[in-house]
Amino acid sequence: MRRMLWVCVTFLSLIMIAVATRRVFLLWSPTLDVDVEFARRRFLTLAHIIPGLIFIVLGPFQFVSSLRKRHPNLHRWTGRVFLAAALVIGVTALIMSPQMPIGGDLEVAATFVFGALFLFTLGKGFAAIRARKVVEHRRWMIRAYAIGLGVGTVRPIAFAFFATSRLTHLTARDFFGIAFWLGFIVSLAAAEVWIRTTSRFAQTAR
């Protein structure tokens, strides 16, 4: 189960890196209408993407137990950078979404709900570690990280809608909001399953 989880995290991280890198290049040479919208808000988009790349790269290392035990100071400092990047991502996502929603109001609603939840879980995780509640800190940060990875989960779901659009006759505006809701829900649900499963294992071991 752990190995499968890491395979999924790696897969989603690679998707997010590819999407973010492509978006950066298209800011200076937009091709589609949606690319033009991002190019018009170039600095806001960069303020969202660059911290996003930091989030993607540092995220997995925050959950490597051997790294935390051997290099606790490194974990703390990278955790602070990770948290700062995540806060910028959350705030800029809430600003950007109403300005250029591909999936209309349904996408905006998903972004606001899970963007606010993302910031809430980050705050709870930070408060927990300040209170030295390590187990609680771990749970909240897993939830926050899962919501962040939800952006990557949206992409395969959206691709499935694209692939079947000739049968369903759904346009990107029709299904992108649905893909956002499904991506975030699936990612957060997987995090909850992992938290509950590992908690049961820990109790059994004790």
- Tens of pLDDT, residue by residue over 63-108, are 888 888 888 899 999 999 999 999 999 999 999 988 877 888 899 9
For the chain, the residue count is 206
Percent of the chain with pLDDT over 70: 97
In the chain, the amino acid numbered 190 is A
pLDDT of residue 200: 65
Q: In this predicted structure, what is the pLDDT of residue 206?
A: 53
| Range list of H helices, the chain | 2-26, 33-40, 42-58, 65-70, 72-96, 104-130, 134-163, 165-168, 172-205
Q: Give the span between the Cα atoms of 68 and 124, in whole angstroms.
A: 20
Structural domain count, the chain: 1
- Residues ≥6 apart with Cβ < 8 Å to 30: 36, 38, 39
Q: What is the pLDDT of residues 132-148, one digit of tens each?
A: 999 999 999 999 999 99
Closest CA to 82 of 118, 38, 132: 118
Six token digits for residue 102: 């591909």
Calculate helix-pair angle for 2-26, 33-40, nearest 10 degrees: 80
Domain extent, residue 129, equals 2-205
